[in-house]
Amino acid sequence: MSVKSFIISKADKLKNFDYGDCSGLHTIDVNMWFKSNSLTPSSMNEIRQYIFEEWLHKKICSSKTKLTSGFNLVIVYDNPTDPFIDLLRGKILEILEYEFCDVILVD
């Protein structure tokens, strides 16, 4: 099986988001995590990175039922980097036990 995940920069872009033939969207707002923790990606140290990864893991785990029933995952994050995309793809594949994860950046 495979899963599609999308990364968008702002939550208000969800209004115009075309999610095609899937059952719906499940959103994880990374921007809000940084804002609520008064952090930026550049201010992350090893401990904060670990806490962030555990939070992301927990969010994806709590989404598992929706994602396996046909929902697409949408990550709201305005600073996606290659390491972040690799982390996201790895977490999704680990948790959902899928063979492939397509991560699509949406303008």
| In the chain, domain spans | 2-105
What's the confidence (pLDDT) of residue 1?
63
| Residue percentage of the chain with pLDDT more than 90 | 36
DSSP 4-42: EEEEES-GGGGGG---TTSSEEEEEEHHHHHHHTT--GG
What's the confidence (pLDDT) of residue 2?
67
What token pair was written down for 102?
């397509």
Strand partners, 20: none
Segment 53-80, tens digit of pLDDT: 999 999 999 988 888 888 888 999 998 9
| Band of residue 20 on the pLDDT scale cut at 50, 70, 90 | low
- The stretches of 5-101 forming alpha helices (DSSP H) are 30-36, 46-68, 82-96
Q: How many Cα atoms occupy the beta-carbon half-sphere of 23 within 13 Å?
A: 10
- Length of the chain counted residue by residue: 107
